[in-house]
Chain A
């Protein structure tokens, strides 16, 4: 009992110069404690901010230029941008037709997932490529499930049931427009920001 009485005293109903329930001491204690919290949080900020990519990494993430002229119809190349594989496929007429024949209701992810377009554009094949350059499909070659690199770039690799890409990790399958058709991946392969500098040259980033 005695301990409780003494513990209650500092909350100060009648102590010090208290007026009513809240004394000046309470006010000072709350202000001091509040400032200590603000100071602590401020000190923590640099410790958290250092987790972001550093200046070298950001600088290495600048746009790159890729020459498309050596890629024959039906071929594909893989280049690297920001440490990620970039798939560039020179699609055949047949592959484009196959991609265009797909109706929206067959698609698991209805969004274009195209960095050059807004989120509400649908995943029709025309929104996955640049107008007039339908033969060129440019995508980040990272499975949207858990980040593996799907196969299908090189001759002899499994392309899956839809003729595009097949991820060996958990069996996700993409069509000739890089859209998810089967398996656990939730999204279409991402189309990075890129632009045509000339007919045979693009800039990624």
Chain B
């Protein structure tokens, strides 16, 4: 389904180049790539995410020129960046808020895929690549947060690295040994900070590589769209440029406005005050909570009153996302035509948001009870509802083509196309 190249080298240089490295052709094919004509604004988040990655890499490289990866100096060096480095007051908060904006965008992107069935054949590999990017994003964000070496950084690293110690519950001693290897010491120590710094610098480039594969896979299968139908004819599509470049550009402008509001007015709104205090190995903060984007999984970890099973379900809650293409048995992609699935989807969204909220609350009383309720639904959604609904649900009537969904059965539909499908 990868579209045929319509590029014609015009000048002598272009022809010369085209026979050696057809990079101009690559760009031209990108611009003319046929995209479904009915894409809504939820489809602009791919471009927004690329923007986020570039922002994080550029600001990160600059920050690394001033940051000191030394347990004794790290915390102060960040304070110094904010106060003494020219424009440090701007660059550091962009990087810090940028992490949250990145996750806001990625969650919208993921849930859009979940709603419109963007993971279904032939887009399974595209989906898995996206999930790998998400997993690396979480690792990178966690490592980056640790570099602040505030008290929440320190205890966050302590709690998360000690998850590998759970192996002790299976084979005594292995977890402790592995934990020592991970930390480079008997507890979180200066060596730990340095290895996390090294990885924090490395992983964004691994993400960039996966993004290239993700876009490549997208260009092979083509965009999904709100109807979930495959592109069948030319009238179903419009060229990427100028239609999508303009649409993406407008959405990006709005996104940047929100981004800027956080950076300029409330840079610490999403941050934990405990991290404004330097790391202290003897003082655990009163409430340990990760950044908001990890909280759904953290809430699951805490909801289970056993260390081993808590970790198992915590890991499972992330791994399940990778298997969605095979867990969902429905042949219909878009939730637009799946009345029962639509309900389950929105309940899942509510559970996810609920877990995000509860992951930041102390693990007691009603908070624990609601965490457990949402957690049960979280797993039921993946393991029971996705496989079952595809078998029992009756989908709504669907249009015959993307064009028909936009223009109605009469307009644009080729003569002879069945015109009985319900108008939407």
Q: In the complex, are the beta carbons of A148 and B155 less than 8 A apart?
A: yes
Binds A, one of B86-94, B177-185, B382-390: B177-185
Known: A57-B189, A171-B363. A146 touches B282 (CB 8 A): no
A168 to B155 CA separation, bound complex (whole angstroms)? 12
Q: How far is the CB of B46 from chain A (nearest CB, A)?
A: 35
B286 on the A face (CB < 8 A): yes
Chain A 32-73 against B: per-residue CB contact (8 Å), 1 yes, 0 no?
Answer: 000000000000000000011110010001000000000000
B191 on the A face (CB < 8 A): yes
A83 to B188 CA separation, bound complex (whole angstroms)? 8
- Which of A52, A83, A144, A169 meets B181, CB within 8 Å? A52
Q: In the complex, are the beta carbons of B184 and A184 less than 8 A apart?
A: no
* Chain B CB within 10 A, most for which of A80, A119, A171: A171
Q: In the complex, are the beta carbons of A53 and B186 less than 8 A apart?
A: yes
B80 on the A face (CB < 8 A): no
A76 on the B face (CB < 8 A): no
- Residues in B with CB closer than 8 Å to A189 are none
Q: In the complex, are the beta carbons of A53 and B180 less than 8 A apart?
A: yes
- Residues in B with CB closer than 8 Å to A168 are 284, 286-287
B158 on the A face (CB < 8 A): yes
- Which of B185, B186, B288 meets A148, CB within 8 Å? B288
Q: In the complex, are the beta carbons of A184 and B288 less than 8 A apart?
A: no
A85 to B282 CA separation, bound complex (whole angstroms)? 6
A170 on the B face (CB < 8 A): yes
Q: In the complex, are the beta carbons of B302 and A170 less than 8 A apart?
A: yes
Known: A149-B282, A171-B364. A54 touches B184 (CB 8 A): yes
- Residues in B with CB closer than 8 Å to A163 are none
> Which residue of B is nearest A141, CB measured?
B282
Binds A, one of B96-104, B227-235, B303-311, B401-409: B303-311
Q: Identify the A interface with B (CB < 8 A).
A: 51-54, 57, 61, 78, 80, 82-85, 119, 142, 144-149, 168-171, 183-186
Q: Identify the B interface with A (CB < 8 A).
A: 155, 158-159, 161-163, 165, 169, 172, 180-182, 184-189, 191, 195, 281-284, 286-288, 302, 304-308, 310, 363-364
